[in-house]
């Protein structure tokens, strides 16, 4: 695959590889991210692409994910092996390149950091991270009503709140926290506005 697929082709391919629920979530993230790009003056096309593809590797099993990393000269970290849900972010960048012909480094980076976040994220990274949490199909997370408003008022405040809720949730449920998640939380903890 060398040329980038059209949006409609991307959607068709995602529909054929992801579960129906995951596909609906994907569309929710793509459109929420597009609206946020309008609000914050980011590229709508990149927001749409990154939103559509952020979970494109979600259909892979733990074993398949690790095999894909190995085939591409990468290794899973210990924490990724214990928490395989983390693997779909790195694998997503590989699948987006190989299966969808995406070579836009900004789009690939937003996919890479969409699960854990990282310090000093760029605008597209933040939009995808937040859109993933607030898209209309989500209904479990705390503070969703507030966050859905805040996301269009102060992106950094919304980001900080999601990171805090995520770290709280991981601590309460006794799940190991990835250093990238902790670093992102620490970096944005006291941020009022950037
Ligand atoms: O793929 P999605 O379900 O749409 O969302 P996501 O990629 O943001 O993944 C969310 C899951 O990732 C959520 O259950 C929390 C988990 N997660 C995020 N950071 C960490 C983490 N899990 C562990 N164990 N450690 C982390 O640092
Ligand atoms: Fe994800
Ligand atoms: Fe997602």
How many residues comprise the chain?
194
- C-beta 83 within 6 A of ligand 1: yes
For residue 126, report the distance from its CA to the centre of ligand 2, in Å: 14
Q: Identify the burial level of 40 via C-beta atoms within 10 angstroms of its C-beta, where 0-12 means exposed, 13-18 middle and 19 or more buried.
A: middle
What confidence category does residue 193 fall into, taking pLDDT thresholds of 50, 70 and 90? very low
Give the number of the atom of ligand 1 that is nearest the alpha carbon of residue 29.
4
Q: Which residue has the tokens 């990282």?
A: 118
Q: What is the mean pLDDT of residues 46-54?
A: 98
- Write down the pLDDT at residue 192: 58
Average pLDDT, the chain: 96
Question: For a substitution probing ligand 1, which of 170, 177, 182, 185 has the most ligand atoms within 8 Å of its CB?
Answer: 170
pTM over cut 0.95? yes
For the record, the structure tokens of 97 come out as 């390149």
Stretch 43-62: mean pLDDT, rounded?
Answer: 98
State the average pLDDT over residues 156-170. 97
- The residue whose CA has the least distance to atom 1 of ligand 1 is 55
Helices (DSSP H) in 54-173: which residue ranges?
62-71, 78-82, 87-100, 105-112, 123-134, 144-150, 155-172
Task: For Cα atoms 166, 39, 27, give the angle at the middle one, nearest 5 degrees.
Answer: 60
Q: Ligand 1, atom 14: nearest CA belongs to which residue?
A: 85
Residue 71: count of CB within 10 angstroms of its CB:
10
pLDDT band at 194 (very low <50, low <70, confident <90, very high): very low
Q: What is the mean pLDDT of residues 76-89?
A: 97
Contact 80 CB / ligand 1 (< 6 Å): no
The rounded distance, in Å, linking the Cα atoms of 175 and 41 is 36
How many other β-carbons are positioned within 10 Å of the β-carbon of residue 76?
A: 18
Per-residue pLDDT tens for 110-157? 999 999 999 999 999 999 999 999 999 999 999 999 999 999 999 999
157-185 mean pLDDT: 97
Reply yes or no on whether the pLDDT at 1 is more than 70. Answer: no
């Amino acid at each position: 695959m060398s040329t980038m697929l059209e949006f409609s082709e991307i959607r068709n391919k995602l529909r054929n590889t992801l579960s129906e629920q995951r596909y609906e979530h994907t569309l929710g993230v793509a459109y929420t991210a597009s609206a946020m790009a309008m609000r914050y003056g980011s590229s709508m096309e990149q927001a749409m692409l990154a939103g559509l593809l952020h979970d494109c590797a979600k259909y892979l099993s733990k074993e398949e994910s690790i095999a894909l990393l190995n085939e591409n000269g990468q290794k899973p970290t210990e924490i990724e092996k214990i928490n395989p849900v983390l693997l779909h972010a790195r694998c997503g960048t590989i699948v987006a390149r190989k299966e969808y012909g995406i070579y836009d480094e900004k789009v690939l980076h937003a996919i890479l950091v969409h699960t854990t976040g990282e310090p000093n994220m760029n605008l597209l990274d933040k939009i995808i991270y937040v859109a993933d949490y607030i898209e209309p199909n989500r209904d479990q997370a705390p503070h969703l009503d507030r966050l859905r408003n805040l996301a269009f008022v102060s992106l950094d405040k919304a980001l900080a709140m999601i990171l805090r809720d995520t770290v709280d949730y991981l601590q309460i449920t006794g799940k190991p926290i990835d250093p990238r998640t902790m670093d992102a939380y620490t970096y944005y903890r006291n941020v009022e506005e950037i």
